[in-house]
Chain A
Amino acid sequence: MQNGEAIKGMAGTSFADEMLLSLENIRKEFPSVTALADVSFDLKRGEVHAVCGENGAGKSTLMKIISGVYTPTSGKIVYKGQTRNFANPLEAENLGIAIIHQELNLVPHLTVAENIYLAREPRRGFLVDRRKLKADAQACLDRLGVAISPDRLVRELSVAQCQMVEIAKALSLNAEVLIMDEPTSSLTEQETRLLFKVIHDLKSSGVGIIYISHRLDEMADIVDRVTVLRDGRYVATSAFAKTSVDEIVSRMVGRSLEEKFPERTSTPSEDVLLRADNLTRHGVFRNVSFTLRRGEILGFAGLMGAGRTEVARAIFGADPLNEGTVTMDGKVLSITSPRDAIAAGLAYLSEDRKAQGLAIKMPVDANMTLANMEAVSNRFGLIDFAAHAKAAEHYVDLLSIKTPSVKQPVRLLSGGNQQKIIIGKWLFRQSRILFFDEPTRGIDVGAKFAIYKIMDELARTGIGVILISSELPEILGMTDRVAVFHNGTITGVLDTARTNQEEIMRYASGYGLSPHRPAAN
Chain B
Amino acid sequence: MSIPTEPKSGRLSDRQKDVIQKFAALGSLFVLIAVFSATSNAFFTVNNGMTIALQVTSIALLGIGATCVIITGGIDLSVGSVLALSGVVAALAVKELGMPVPIGMLIGILTGSACGLINGIFVTRMKLPPFIATLGMMLIARGVALQITGARAVSGLGESFGELGNGSLFRVVTIGDDGFPNVVFPGIPYPVILMIVIAIAVSFMLNRSVLGRHIYAVGSNVDAARLSGVNVNRVVSFTYVLSGTLAGLTGCVLMSRLVTAQPNEGVMYELDAIASAVIGGTSLIGGVGTISGTAIGAFVIGILRNGLNMNGVSAFTQQIIIGLVILLTVWIDQLRNRR
Contacts and interface: CB of A to CB of B under 8 A. Distances in A.
Given A339-B231, A356-B223, A383-B209, A366 B217 contact: yes
A379 to B, nearest CB: 11
Given A31-B11, A357-B227, A366 B2 contact: no
Interface string A64-76: 0000011100000
Interface in A118-153: none
Contacts of A60: 1, 3
A361 interface: yes
Main secondary structure of the interface of A (DSSP, over half): mixed
B227 A318 contact: yes
Contacts of A305: none
Contact of A358 (B221, B230, B288): B221
B224 A358 contact: yes
Interface in B209-265: 209-211, 213-214, 216-217, 220-221, 223-231
Contacts of B14: 409, 412
Interface residues of B, number: 29
Interface string B198-217: 00000000001111011011
A32 interface: yes
A355 interface: yes
A338 B230 CA distance: 8
A434 B3 CA distance: 32
A382 B209 contact: yes
A350 B223 CA distance: 10
B217 A360 contact: no
Contacts of B7: 69-71
Contacts, number: 98
B266 interface: no
A361 B288 contact: yes
B323 to A, nearest CB: 28
A60 B211 CA distance: 39
Interface stretch (A44-52, A285-293, A320-328, A369-377): A369-377
Given A366-B216, A370-B228, A35 B3 contact: yes
A71 B125 CA distance: 50
B312 interface: no
A381 B206 CA distance: 11
A362 B231 CA distance: 18
A342 B214 CA distance: 16
Interface of A: 30-33, 35, 55-56, 58, 60-61, 69-71, 316, 318, 338-339, 342-343, 348, 350, 355-362, 366, 370-371, 373-374, 377, 380-383, 385, 409, 412, 414, 425
18 contacts: A30-B4, A31-B10, A33-B4, A35-B3, A71-B7, A342-B228, A350-B227, A358-B224, A359-B216, A360-B220, A362-B216, A366-B216, A366-B217, A370-B213, A370-B217, A382-B208, A382-B209, A382-B210
